[in-house]
């Protein structure tokens, strides 16, 4: 397998947000989306008190990250799991809580850079798109088995594709002749199906369809919807959760969880809010933060990032844990 490139997005800002929670003796940090380990490497170097648990559903990422992080092996535990399995990971490791959690969502640098994984539409490759390529259905399976209605739903919901139904009809018709196996044929179909005026705006015409298929194959939004509340529930007072999203569907879901956790459940007309109705979280970012123009110039993948972070301030449950 080729050696992929890896430039961690918003590295200094992420570590700065996590560091206050990780400076205390015995602190535990969980990188829920380890990838090639760039953020975790920086945490290990800059937060010497922290023990780190690195989680990834991609066994290839775990192998490469393990090699990169070998100098810190005594403070590092690698776990092959999907990040909505945080409670199980804690139980298996005998951990009571997590002082810091990071989610760097979406497709990783490694998965994009390795052509055979099928995530990138710029090169012809097998239509796989599984983050763990040892289990589950592939993008080809979705294209070759879903009916028009289900395909249109996936493309519309997860890709926000205006021409979802036309694309779905074209896919179902084309697979009658030959099943879909490679990305170039799908890209060609998208060019033929999406009207020319629409192709000239909004980026590559395959971008939305590939995003939608990837999210469907990996159940990314379902996993995220379970994972973020689980991460928040695992943090003690002073613990922080940092999330980096790369499209609006992810960011809206994260914002909803964080807003619930930072909002008081007390009636608005109460002159004094009882302690048990105070929100359990506080925001440590002002809304969602973006990468600087300088970073985007150095790392184009940072252009779409939206970063949000919260800190637990009391042990109240809040709506986020409901």
Q: Is 211 annotated as a binding-site member?
A: no
The region, left, alpha or beta by phi > 0 then psi within -120 to 50, assigned to residue 24 is beta
Q: Is 38 annotated as a binding-site member?
A: yes
Q: Is 37 annotated as a binding-site member?
A: yes
Q: Is 56 annotated as a binding-site member?
A: yes
Q: Is 159 annotated as a binding-site member?
A: no
Q: Is 287 annotated as a binding-site member?
A: no
Residues 6+ apart with CB under 8 A from 270: none
Q: Is 104 annotated as a binding-site member?
A: yes
Task: List, as residue ranges, the binding site for S-adenosyl-L-methionine.
Answer: 37-39, 56, 83, 104, 111
Task: List, as residue ranges, the binding site.
Answer: 37-39, 56, 83, 104, 111
């Amino acid at each position: 397998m080729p050696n992929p490139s890896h430039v961690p997005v918003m590295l200094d800002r992420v570590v700065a947000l996590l560091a206050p929670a990780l400076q205390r003796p015995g602190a535990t940090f969980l990188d829920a989306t380890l990838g090639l380990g760039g953020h975790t490497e920086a945490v290990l170097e800059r937060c010497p008190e922290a023990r780190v648990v690195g989680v990834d559903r991609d066994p290839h990422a775990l192998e490469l990250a393990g090699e990169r992080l070998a100098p810190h092996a005594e403070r590092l535990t690698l776990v092959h799991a999907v990040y909505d399995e945080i409670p199980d990971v804690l139980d298996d490791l005998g951990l009571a809580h997590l002082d810091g959690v990071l989610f760097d969502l979406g497709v990783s640098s490694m998965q994009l850079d390795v052509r055979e994984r099928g995530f990138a539409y710029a090169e012809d490759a097998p239509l796989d798109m599984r983050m763990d390529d040892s289990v589950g259905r592939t993008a080809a399976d979705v294209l070759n088995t879903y009916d028009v209605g289900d395909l249109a739903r996936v493309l519309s919901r997860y890709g926000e594709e205006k021409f979802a139904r036309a694309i779905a009809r074209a896919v179902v018709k084309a697979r009658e002749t030959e099943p879909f196996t490679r990305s170039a044929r799908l890209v060609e179909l998208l060019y033929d199906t999406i009207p020319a005026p629409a192709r000239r705006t909004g980026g590559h015409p395959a971008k939305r369809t590939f995003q939608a298929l990837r999210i469907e194959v990996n159940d990314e939004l379902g996993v995220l919807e379970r994972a973020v509340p689980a991460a928040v529930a695992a943090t003690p007072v002073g613990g922080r959760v940092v999330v980096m999203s790369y499209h609006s569907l992810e960011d809206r879901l994260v914002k909803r969880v964080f807003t619930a956790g930072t909002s008081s459940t007390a009636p608005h007309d109460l002159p004094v809010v009882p302690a048990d109705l105070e929100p359990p979280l506080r925001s440590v970012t002002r809304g969602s933060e973006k990468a600087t123009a300088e970073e985007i110039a150095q790392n184009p993948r940072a252009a779409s990032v939206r970063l949000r972070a919260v800190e637990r301030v009391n042990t109240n449950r809040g709506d986020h844990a409901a």
